[in-house]
């Protein structure tokens, strides 16, 4: 059959490797990463956490603020579940979509519970004698991420 | 390690005026409970007649906030006091970012040359015919 411009797709054809070799390679990589974690030779860890309907990229000792009220008092330690991604300098652990709770541990403390600055909500239509003004003050909480830890129990 | 940012709460009362009735009730009933629940906040109560009742909050970074408690009930003053106890002394203005990190990038910040093959491996157009 003659080859025209539409016989093969325009993207370059990729050959997938052998599944057996692939499995061996995967096992090797997993073992290496496990060894690294067990030896503890990673620097700072960062994590992507789903919290308060938003995803945050957090490291240790950083501040996060949310526009809601948590039930914890000031000074309480909180453990965050729903971790999507954990990474260090050489390796990253990607969850589908979440990582296991035995793998990662993210701890944070509630520092402050304040209110936001007074936001003005005003509606005005000209020539219709219509205006409404409302000042909205939302409660906020400030968290500080204390630690992110990983444990070598991959598979 | 959590340190409360509120240093002192000063309650200015007046024993006779009608608008400090709630403040007087607060002092009689709820002040001791409040002090027990927040052991690291110092609560001063002083009687000043001829002035509006005011709750002064001083924070560790020096900012002083005054809140009027005239014509407020006991429970409202308790809620106000707990709110002030949870705040820190930063100004309540618009904050541009809801997060703050000291080390934003761990694996190196992205610049347009990451994940691209370097100039040594790219084969340019050959000038001499072969």
Side by side, the strands of the sheet bearing A77-80 are A77-80, A104-115, A139-150, A63-66, B99-100
Angle of CA points A123, A127, A132, to nearest 5°: 20
> Which value does ipTM take for this structure?
0.71
- pLDDT band with cut points at 50, 70 and 90 for residue A124: very high
Mean of per-residue pLDDT scores for chain A: 84
Distance between CA atoms of residues B47 and B45, nearest Å: 7
Residues of B in contact with A46 (CB under 8 A): 106
Residues of B in contact with A66 (CB under 8 A): 98
Distance between CA atoms of residues B122 and B99, nearest Å: 41
Are the Cβ atoms of B106 and A115 closer than 8 angstroms?
no
Side by side, the strands of the sheet bearing B42-47 are B42-47, B6-13, B54-59, B64-68
Are the Cβ atoms of A56 and B99 closer than 8 angstroms?
yes
pLDDT in tens, A35-85: 888 887 777 888 888 888 888 888 888 888 888 888 888 888 888 888 888
The residues with which A85 forms a beta bridge, in sequence order, are A48, A94
Check which CATH number belongs to the domain holding B77 and give it.
3.40.30.10
Domain count along chain B: 1
* Length, in residues, of chain A: 155
Cis link prior to A97 (omega < 30° from 0)? yes
Domain that holds residue B20: 6-86
pLDDT in tens, B35-52: 778 888 888 888 888 788
Chain A: give the shortest CA distance to residue B91, in Å: 9
- Going by their DSSP bridges, the two strands B6-13 and B42-47 should be labelled as parallel
- Mean pLDDT of all residues in A109-138: 88
How big is the A-B interface in CB pairs under 8 Å?
61
Residues of A in contact with B83 (CB under 8 A): 113-115
Are the Cβ atoms of B83 and A115 closer than 8 angstroms?
yes
| Residue B23, φ and ψ in degrees, nearest 5 | -65, -40
Are the Cβ atoms of A111 and B92 closer than 8 angstroms?
no
Taking the Cβ of residue A69 and every Cβ of chain B, the question of whether any pair is shorter than 8 Å is answered with no
Among B85, B86, B106, the residue with its CB nearest the CB of A59 is B106
Chain A: give the shortest CA distance to residue B7, in Å: 14
For residue B33, tell me if it sits in a domain. yes
Report which secondary-structure segment, H or E, holds A139. Answer: strand A139-150
Contact residues for A66 (Cβ-Cβ < 8 A; gap 6+): A51, A52, A54, A140, A141, A143, B98
């Amino acid at each position: 059959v003659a080859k025209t411009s539409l016989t093969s797709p325009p993207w370059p054809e990729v050959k997938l490797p052998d599944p057996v070799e692939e499995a061996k390679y995967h096992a090797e990589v997993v073992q290496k990463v496990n060894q690294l974690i067990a030896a503890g030779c990673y620097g700072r860890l960062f994590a992507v956490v789903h919290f308060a309907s938003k995803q945050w990229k957090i490291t240790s000792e950083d501040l996060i603020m949310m526009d809601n009220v948590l039930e914890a008092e000031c000074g309480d330690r909180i453990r965050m579940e729903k971790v999507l991604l954990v990474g260090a300098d050489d390796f990253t652990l990607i969850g589908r979509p979440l990582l296991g709770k035995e793998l990662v541990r993210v701890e944070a403390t509630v520092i402050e519970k304040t209110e936001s600055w007074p936001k003005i909500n005003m509606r005005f239509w000209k020539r219709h004698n219509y205006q409404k003004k409302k000042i909205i003050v939302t409660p906020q909480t400030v968290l500080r991420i204390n630690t992110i830890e990983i444990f070598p129990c991959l598979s | 390690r959590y340190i409360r940012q509120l240093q002192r709460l000063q309650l200015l009362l007046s024993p006779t005026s009608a608008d400090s009735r709630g403040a007087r009730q607060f002092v009689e009933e709820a002040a001791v409970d409040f002090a027990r629940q927040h052991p690291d906040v110092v609560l001063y109560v002083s009687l000043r007649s001829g002035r509006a009742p005011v709750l002064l909050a001083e924070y560790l970074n020096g900012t002083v906030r005054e809140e009027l408690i005239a014509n407020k009930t006991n429970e409202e003053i308790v809620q106000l006091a707990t709110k002030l106890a949870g705040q820190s002394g930063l100004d309540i203005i618009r904050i541009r970012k809801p997060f703050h990190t000291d080390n934003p990038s761990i694996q190196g910040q992205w610049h347009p040359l990451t994940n691209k093959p370097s100039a040594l491996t790219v084969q340019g157009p050959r000038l001499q015919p072969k």
